[in-house]
């Protein structure tokens, strides 16, 4: 059994001041911000917010997708915005935000604030397999990584990362300082204003602790049951921004521009109902029981909210035929799926306008995709899928995949985050292209959905 830090055995008392100790505040149950999110106010201005990991409608994002490099660290801060910036708040609707860590010097070191040396953010922002922001490779950063919403628990993981976050390489935020790792307190003595993000099996916890040293941070997180946590940037950058009772409250830093931050976001208001592809009653062009293939185009596609043309498959029939060629197989839970087959010209697309998406808001596109390459046709390569969100200010928010089909290949899940414009409409366009063998290969699609921050 691992021996935890001895400070955990002592109730946390942060000097003198108004309010209860954190141990007493936690014992008192705290104040519910909204369902599954609880705030604890402690002595000396310490504020802790705990998020129930069973709130699987939530996601944790590195907000605003910081650039891969910036000219200098000073520029990075000046290009950022305070935690309570109204535009950032409007875009994400985050119930809670916490400042991130600092940038590191490209090529090594951390002391280049006033030097003309490009900076690398200690983050990793990904859209499925597509890396948007590359983290610093300077030293061994601790990476707190997050997945898209899990079926039963908000995914989060901590690792000492010289390479890839192993568990949830979706969004990740780095720091040179792990407050706790597997229940063990890291060394450190510097006293300052700090923010910390950590987790246990049941909750994610974010804390603002002014004029505090690392041992007391360990004790505080221990009181909250947290065994893994990293420290964010301190001093004038340290702060939380919390929505409570319809109002937003900055806690800690209120003036310094923050180049990037973590946000707890709730997604809802589905703009694309892919379940409509489950609605048509299939007829079978090739004979078979149950009927399994149908071509959709023209008014049929318009009735489903799309323009374009697809082949619609009954999944058991598709899987039964999958042995006749090199195809992605389809897992359980997908009863009907569509195939885009490039013909002449060698591209085929479907699209729809996201007219119901709110303006100036981050949204998440979620979909499953795979590939078809059936014999006896000679497909020198395979179809390529291209996903575009036309009209998004974050353009080019484009997903392109040329995944190789091999034995055991199956549908793959993908995500793409994008921002809606302040005026106008975003158009979702899904294109399959195959210049080598038009009509013989195809792209599988299923469960296409768009949800926006709320």
Domain match, 371 and 420 both: yes
Q: Does 1 fall in a domain?
A: no
On whether both 187 and 295 belong to a single domain, the answer is no
Cis link prior to 228 (omega < 30° from 0)? Answer: no
For 166, 183, 274, 369, the CA distances from 162, given in Å and listed in that order, are 11, 21, 39, 30
Mind listing the pLDDT tens digit for each residue in 351-364?
A: 999 998 999 999 98
Residue 124 resides in a domain: yes
Share of the chain above pLDDT 70, in %: 73
The last residue of one of the domains, among 206, 233, 266, is 266
- In 3-state terms, what secondary structure has residue 378? coil
* pTM summary value: 0.85
1 CB-near residues (< 8 Å, 6+ apart) = none
Q: What is the pLDDT of residue 452?
A: 92
Kindly state the tokens that stand for 341: 């087959």
Q: Are 192 and 321 part of one and the same domain?
A: no
Q: Are residues 289 and 209 in the same domain?
A: no
Q: Residue 332 falls within a domain, yes or no?
A: yes
Indicate whether 247 and 287 sit together in one domain.
Answer: no
Tell whether 236 and 304 lie within a shared domain.
no
Question: Considering its fold, how many domains does the chain have in total?
Answer: 2
Say how far apart CA 357 and CA 363 lie, in whole Å.
8
- Answer yes or no: is 32 within a domain: yes
Is residue 26 in some structural domain?
A: yes
Which of residues 325 and 273 earns the better pLDDT score? 273
pLDDT tens digits for range 204-215: 999 999 999 988
- Res 339: pLDDT: 87
Same domain as 144, residue 31: yes
Which of 58-67, 254-263, 304-313 has the largest mean confidence? Answer: 304-313
Q: What residue numbers bound the domain in which 197 lies? A: 6-266
Q: Is the pLDDT of residue 294 over 60?
A: yes
- Token readout for 145 is 């990584």
Residue 274 has pLDDT above 80, yes or no: no
Residue with tokens 């003036």: 255
| Lowest mean pLDDT segment, chosen from 86-90, 129-133, 322-326, 362-366 | 322-326
Indicate if 225 and 102 belong to the same structural domain: yes
Specify if 228 maps to a domain.
yes
- Judge if 242 and 291 occupy the same domain: no
Shared-domain flag, residues 262 and 279: no
Per-residue buried b or exposed e for 398-423, using 16+ beta carbons within 10 Å of the residue's own CB: bbebeeebeeebebbebbbbbbbbee
The answer to whether residues 104 and 137 touch, using CB atoms and an 8 Å cutoff, is no
- The model's pLDDT over 225-239, given as tens digits with 9 standing for 90+, comes to 999 999 998 988 899
pLDDT digits (tens, 9 = 90+) for 157-202: 887 755 555 444 577 788 888 899 899 998 778 899 999 999 999 9
Identify whether the C-beta of residue 427 lies closer than 8 Å to the C-beta of residue 390: yes
Q: What is the mean pLDDT of the chain?
A: 79
Which among 237, 266, 295 is the end of a domain? 266
- Judge if 206 and 337 occupy the same domain: no
Of the residues 243, 266, 289, the one at which a domain ends: 266
Whether 67 has a pLDDT exceeding 90, the answer reads no
96 CB contacts (<8 Å, ≥6 apart)? 37, 49, 51, 206, 240, 241, 242, 243, 263, 264
370/398 same-domain check:
yes
**CATH code for the domain in which residue 310 is found:** 2.60.120.260
Q: What is the pLDDT of residue 428?
A: 94
Residue 102 domain-assigned? yes
């Amino acid at each position: 059994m691992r021996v935890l830090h001895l400070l955990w055995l002592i109730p946390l008392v942060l000097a003198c001041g108004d309010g209860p100790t954190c141990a007493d505040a936690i014992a008192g149950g705290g104040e519910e911000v909204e369902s599954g999110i609880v705030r604890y106010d402690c002595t000396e201005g310490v504020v802790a917010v705990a998020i129930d990991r069973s709130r699987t409608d939530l996601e944790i994002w590195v907000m605003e997708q910081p650039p891969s490099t910036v000219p200098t660290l000073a520029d990075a801060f000046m290009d950022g915005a305070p935690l309570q910036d109204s535009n950032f708040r409007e875009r994400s609707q985050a119930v809670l935000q916490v400042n991130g860590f600092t940038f590191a010097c490209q090529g090594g070191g951390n002391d280049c604030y006033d030097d003309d040396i490009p900076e690398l953010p200690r983050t990793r922002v990904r859209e499925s397999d597509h890396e948007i922001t590359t983290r610093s490779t300077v030293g061994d950063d601790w990476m707190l990584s997050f997945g898209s919403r899990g079926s039963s628990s908000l995914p989060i993981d901590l690792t000492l990362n010289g390479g890839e976050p192993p568990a949830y390489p979706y969004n990740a935020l780095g720091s040179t300082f792990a407050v706790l790792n597997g229940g063990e307190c890291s060394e450190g003595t510097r006293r300052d204003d700090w923010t910390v993000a950590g987790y246990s099996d049941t909750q994610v916890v974010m804390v603002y602790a002014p004029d505090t040293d690392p041992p007391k941070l360990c004790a505080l997180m221990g009181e909250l049951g947290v065994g893994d946590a990293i420290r964010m940037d301190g001093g004038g950058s340290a702060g939380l921004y919390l929505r409570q009772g319809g109002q937003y409250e900055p806690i800690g830093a209120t003036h310094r521009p923050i180049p990037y931050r973590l946000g707890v976001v709730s997604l809802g208001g589905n703009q694309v109902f892919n379940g409509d592809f489950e609605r048509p009653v299939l007829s079978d062009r090739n004979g078979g029981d149950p009927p399994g293939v149908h071509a959709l185009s023209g008014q049929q596609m318009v009735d489903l909210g799309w323009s374009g043309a697809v082949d619609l498959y009954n999944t058991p029939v598709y899987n039964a035929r999958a042995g006749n060629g090199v195809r992605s197989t389809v897992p359980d839970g997908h009863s009907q799926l569509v195939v885009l087959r490039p013909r002449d010209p060698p591209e085929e697309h479907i699209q729809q306008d996201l007219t119901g998406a709110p303006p100036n808001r981050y949204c998440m596109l979620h979909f499953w995709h795979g590939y078809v390459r059936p014999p006896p046709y000679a497909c020198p390569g395979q179809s390529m899928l291209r996903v575009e969100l036309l009209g998004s200010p974050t353009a080019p928010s484009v997903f392109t995949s040329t995944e190789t089909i091999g034995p055991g290949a199956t549908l793959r899940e993908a995500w793409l985050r994008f921002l809606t414009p302040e005026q106008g409409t975003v158009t979702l366009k899904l294109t399959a292209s195959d210049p080598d063998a038009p009509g013989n290969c195809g792209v599988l699609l299923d469960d296409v959905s768009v949800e926006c921050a709320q």
